[in-house]
Structure 1
Amino acid sequence: MKVITWKLHLKSDPNAIFDLLSTSEGRKKFWAETATEDKGIIHFVFPNGQAYDSKIIKAIPPRAFHLDYFNSLVKFHLEPSENRGTDLILINENVTESDFPEVNAGWISVLMNLKAVADFQCDLRNHNPKKTWDQGYVDN
């Protein structure tokens, strides 16, 4: 099993970033086509039709948001930046060796869209079920 770690600096404050991560409406803006929550379970639905029920493991506003995600552990840690804004650290634990290349690249796609939405109010995804990651589109 492998661990993925990415860091991202955002102009937006930790409360705004936490809201994007921890609310259904926030996740829909940058991560999944829908990501509704019921009783601590997020029902993610992606453009290619794939779905996953993800259990929220920890939510400490506006510092930490952890969840089970495709049978791995994802941790978002948010810290106020010394130059204003937020430093986000994503840690994805227990990624299988065979899934590592795709998951590692996938997080870059998710995190860069988070930055676009949080800092520039711009969704970079195409929202076209015929032009997804499965067909080689990075803007899925």
Structure 2
Amino acid sequence: MQRMVNCASAASDVYRAVSTVLGRERFWAESAPESGGVISFVLADGRTDESPIEQAVQDRLYQLRHFGQTLTFALAPTPTGGTDLTLTLTTPADALAPTPTGGTDLTLTLTTPADAIAPAAAGPSDASPTTADGEVDSGVLVSLLLRLKAFVDFGVDLRNHDARRTTAYADS
């Protein structure tokens, strides 16, 4: 599954949003400090994860293991100075398919191993874009992309920061 968004911001700004503590905490997590190549995520619903960074290529690619899934952000500058952002979800059946990582694409690849899919008590969230029956919840992926865009292009945090309002809320 792929979802795309164009950011008016430069690739360096988009990369900084996903690759730094301050950036991640402005659109994604309540806290996300990094130590020794591992990000300690705390999400709005209280769930935590130790997410190892697998690849980091300045202004082009950022990949981490997040709640048993591989997230890959690939960035590509546009001729107008912005960044194209493509979110790709790779499931086990298509895990070996090539991902677009060059040209003008920004790609977020999410690989979900079959044994990592478990029903979430709190419902779908940014950490797990699958439903209890293993189906992909594309709304979660779109929500993450749009919160990133709102932050890098407009300096806005769209999240509600209310732990009681995370399940089924688009602004959690």
Q: TM-score, normalised by structure 2?
A: 0.73
For structure 2, list consecutive stretches of 5 or more residues without a partner in the other structure.
Answer: 86-106, 115-129
- Runs (4+) of structure 1 moved beyond 4 Å? none
What CA distance in whole angstroms lies between the structure 2 residues aligned with 1:7 and 1:109?
Answer: 12
CA contact (8 A) 1:34 1:46 kept: yes
Paired residue for 1:77, among 74, 85, 93? Answer: 74
1:5 and 1:92 in contact (8 A); partners too: no
Query: Which structure's residues are more often helix, by fraction?
Result: 1
Q: Which amino acid aligns with 2:109?
A: I
The DSSP-based 3-state class of the residue aligned with 1:27 is: helix
Q: Of 107, 120, 123, which residue of structure 1 is paired with 2:154?
A: 120
Query: Of the candidates 20, 31, 35, which is equivalent to residue 34 of structure 1?
Result: 31
CA distance in 1, matches of 2:2, 2:36: 28
Partner-residue secondary structure (3-state), 1:48 = coil
Which is bigger in relative contact order (C-alpha 8 A, separation at least 6)? Answer: 1
Deviates more, 1:9-18 or 1:93-102: 93-102
In structure 2, what is the Cα distance between the partners aligned to 1:62 and 1:84?
Answer: 13
Is the strand fraction higher in 1 or 2?
1
Deviation at 1:95, TM superposition (A): 5.5
Structure 1 regions of 5+ residues with no counterpart? none
CA distance in 1, matches of 2:140, 2:158: 14
TM-score, length basis structure 1: 0.89
**Which of 109, 130, 136 is the equivalent residue of 1:101?**
136
- 2:110 maps to which of 65, 72, 92: 92
Give 1 or 2 for the bigger CA radius of gyration: 2
Shift of 1:82: 2.0
Q: How many residues align?
A: 134
After superposition, give the CA deviation of every residue in 1:92-136 in whole Å (9 maximum; x if it has no partner): 12355733333x32111111000001001111110011111x2x2
